[in-house]
Structure 1
Amino acid sequence: MEGTRSGRGRGRGVRLPATEGGSRETMPELNPEPRIDPNVQVATAIQRMTDLLAHLVEHQGQPPVHQPGNPGNHIEGEDRALERFQKFSPPKFLGGPDPDVAERWLEKMIDIFAALHYSEERQVTFAVFQLEGAARSWWNVVRTKWEKEQTPRTWVNFMREFNAKYFTSLVQEKKEDEFIRLHQGAQLVVEYESQFTRLSKFAPELIVTEPRRVRRFIHGLNVEIQKDLAVA
């Protein structure tokens, strides 16, 4: 019946007991916030981590892809790719003895290339554009050595040379050990992911394939989350 129809639906209020003056006040009913599935959070973090580190193996050892037809298409493609790269405002790197400066520059390059999904050879080419001064002189030596030894222009090889030049053996070993021992602990998944990404560049051989990266990432998660992820 219309007289007894309840007021269910969106925006329905909760009626409070009458006050001393006999009036009733109505408070809006607050809808509870949706519960976020922790499995979804972990899966999202794994996907984001995979995308962020995909440049380590993407097109590894493969020659650059040339556009068919007009030979000028490849040059135009390079120009457009460079324009997209510059829109991220990549920093210059001058070299120097401060490992923190070198690490910040390398992290920025990794972040940019993860967003652009360029081939490894293109990543090396564009990273070199940002080298100036002593860093550029260092690269000229490396380039000559690579040409003589026919070393593939991959991002993994570039990081190996960069680490050897701008991080002492002690720093590299320390960072690699931190990466090997890395576990989530009391961190949020996103915080653990950030640490994983930061330290992984000091141990590229340990995560050279996508399955190995994902497996090591999951291994460092808390056991409870690993179990939930396995069930999911």
Structure 2
Amino acid sequence: MEGTRSGRGRERGGRQSTTDRDTRETMLEPNPEPQIDPNAQVAAAIQRMTDLLAHVVQQQGHNPNPPVGNPRNPENYVESEDRALERFQKFFPSKFLGGPDPDMAEQWLEKMIDIFAALHYSEERQVTFTLFQLEGATRSWWNIIRTKWEREQTPRTWVNFVREFNAKYFPPLIQEKKEDEFIRLRQGTQSVVEYES
């Protein structure tokens, strides 16, 4: 029985001492730290990682996908906008300010056509990148055309852009003049028409 009593006594004493110790610790530390839920910690860490990844994607130009396919086979190659713009700019395309000289407009447009022939870009991308080169009066002209296209739901294609560009910078009178000049050209002693036949 003694063993039983001493066991009970220890048990009671153990309870009392634990309670006393908790009371003393509470008195020593008036603001004990609250227990943090491990699930909340994991959720907070995941949220921080998500925010960080979103920031990285934003810094990369909103297109985290690398190019797909083989760049030597343009039909199956999808290139990011940033990379495509970088390649376009390596050709040092000139800016176009407009003006009354149709020869300047013609030279600029031919240069753009040559660049896009080398790059094999889609028609919409060609128009988008060409717009980076328009400044001053031509930028204002484009804003009018863009509004018209949106209203009429005109597709943003290279063919449509060239048509609008030619209508603005090569009016019919200038086109006729260029045709006349071409017809009057001579190859040696022959006219172009004679040379062609």
Under a length normalisation based on structure 2, what TM-score does the superposition of the two structures give?
0.53
Q: Gapped runs of 5+ residues in structure 1? A: 1-69, 187-191, 193-220, 224-232
Whether 1:119 and 2:122 are equivalent positions in the alignment is yes
Whether 1:96 and 2:99 are equivalent positions in the alignment is yes
- Please name the residue that 2:161 is paired with: 158
- Please name the residue that 2:83 is paired with: 80
CA contact (8 A) 1:95 1:134 kept: yes
SS class of match (1:80)? helix
- Please name the residue that 2:18 is paired with: none
Count of matched residue positions in the alignment of Structure 1 and Structure 2: 123
* Partner Cα distance (2:163, 2:99) in 1: 17
Cα-to-partner distance string for 1:11-58 (whole Å, 9 max, x where unaligned): xxxxxxxxxxxxxxxxxxxxxxxxxxxxxxxxxxxxxxxxxxxxxxxx
CA contact (8 A) 1:163 1:172 kept: no
Q: Gapped runs of 5+ residues in structure 2? A: 1-61, 68-77
- Please name the residue that 1:129 is paired with: 132
In the TM superposition, structure 1's runs of 4+ consecutive aligned residues that sit over 3 Å from their partners are: 173-179
* Partner Cα distance (1:93, 1:157) in 2: 18
- Please name the residue that 1:142 is paired with: 145
Under a length normalisation based on structure 1, what TM-score does the superposition of the two structures give?
0.45
- Structure with greater Cα Rg: 2
CA contact (8 A) 1:94 1:131 kept: yes
The one-letter amino acid of 1:124's match is: V
* Partner Cα distance (2:105, 2:155) in 1: 23
Identity %: 76
Judging changes above 3 Å, is the alpha-carbon distance between structure 1 residues 151 and 133 closer, same or farther for their aligned structure 2 residues? same
SS class of match (2:80)? helix
Larger proportion of helix = 2
